[in-house]
Amino acid sequence: MRAWQVNGQGEPRDILKQVTIDLAPAGPGELNIRVIASALALPDVLLCRGVYPLTPPLPFVPGLEFVGTVTEAGPGTTTPVGTKVMGVAAFTMGHGAFADSCKTYEMMVYPVPDGMDDADASAFVIAYQTAYIGLVRRGKMEAGETVLVHGAAGGTGFSAVMLAKALGARVIATAGGAEKAAFCRELGADVAIDHTAGDWVKAVNDATNGRGADVVFDPVGGEMFEKSPDCMAPEGRLLPIGFACGRWGVISPVVLTLKNISIVGALAGGFPRDWMMSMQNHLVELYNKGAIRMVIDKRIGFDDIAQGVQDVADRKVRGRIVAIH
């Protein structure tokens, strides 16, 4: 089968090579999937660079998210062959979704709801589950609170904007550049701030009459994360979702203590399967009602995946890029 493989460390356009490989039979708890579409994301960039915490040994096939059909079900599984599913590939095993077929674990897939097209399905799970787990499960966001979303035009930021709005929050979005800020307003953000144009901390405080945000959803890290306490409300919750800037932010416990705020870790996984299914059902309900939607920047072909991942690395994407296989 065709696959995009990483054999070293570097930029996606240089390190991703198209090869022909075989996929091993499905083991216990595993499903083999014929990939219909795969979604490109920042973790794929970090996998190419060798800096992602879950990077598998070389060589490996990246690609976290997919929609596809089950071609083989391993021992102990209950999903019938031929079932259409969406979910997360077993990329940590080196069998990611940038291939004609990938592996996954049954616990990491979900049914594709009627009416959801393949592009949306391929990109839905990680983006919206990350937003939900961060805002709802870990951040304890309540209707009427103010949520600050950094990197709001990006692959997880846009989902946090729309989910927070759908659940009754007031949303302040930051993004790099006037065009991306305008895009955030299109997503439904009540306030959109171009953080490259001036003092974004002051802008957040001005927008909240000096009170600050109750919840900060931060996929950016670095300086954005470190400055966020200066525009947070008492008992605010700061969510370190990622480090798109290249490094995690670091905040002294003294700052947390003096400001009565918390840093709350949030990872899209590791929760009981029944709760994950309940969350997914809630998200699909919101999707079907039109309260949230997927933002697909562009659809590309399988042969264009390396350049597509490079576009993500170069921050040329609003929302998601999806490869149709």
Q: For 155, what's the count of Cα atoms within 13 Å in the CB-facing half-sphere? A: 31
Over 90: is that where the pLDDT of 268 sits? no
Helices (H), ranges, the chain: 12-15, 42-49, 118-132, 157-166, 178-187, 200-207, 222-227, 253-259, 273-288, 305-313
The residue ranges of every structural domain in the chain are 2-123+295-324, 140-263
62 cis-preceded (ω within 30 degrees of 0): no
Euclidean distance between CA atoms 157 and 9, whole angstroms:
27
Would you state the pLDDT for residue 297?
93
- Structure tokens that stand for 6 in this block: 């990483």
Q: What is the mean pLDDT of residues 148-174?
A: 96
* Buried residues in 192-207 as b, exposed as e (16+ CB within 10 A): bbbbeeeebbebbbeb
Would you state the pLDDT for residue 247?
92
pLDDT digits (tens, 9 = 90+) for 278-298: 999 999 999 999 999 999 999
Would you state the pLDDT for residue 318?
87
Euclidean distance between CA atoms 64 and 48, whole angstroms:
13
pLDDT digits (tens, 9 = 90+) for 99-142: 999 999 999 999 999 999 999 999 999 999 999 999 999 999 99
Mean per-residue pLDDT of the chain: 96
Q: Which phi and psi angles does 275 have, rounded to 5°? A: -70, -40
Euclidean distance between CA atoms 140 and 308, whole angstroms:
35
Q: What is the mean pLDDT of residues 167-175?
A: 98
Looking at domain 2-123+295-324, its CATH class is: alpha beta
Would you state the pLDDT for residue 15?
96
Q: What is the mean pLDDT of residues 200-229?
A: 97
What stretches of 129-268 adopt beta strand conformation (E)? 146-149, 170-175, 191-194, 213-218, 232-240, 262-263
Q: Give residue for tokens 């079932």.
A: 83
pLDDT digits (tens, 9 = 90+) for 176-201: 999 999 999 999 999 999 999 999 99
| Residue 202, amino acid | K
Would you state the pLDDT for residue 155?
85
- Structure tokens that stand for 302 in this block: 């399988």
Q: Contact at 8 Å (CB) between 204 and 212?
A: yes
- Structure tokens that stand for 296 in this block: 């697909």
Q: Contact at 8 Å (CB) between 145 and 170?
A: yes
Angle of the 273-288 helix axis to the 157-166 helix axis, nearest 10: 80
Q: Which residues pair with 320 in a beta bridge?
A: 296
Q: What is the mean pLDDT of residues 295-324?
A: 95
Structural domain 140-263, CATH architecture:
3-Layer(aba) Sandwich (3.40)
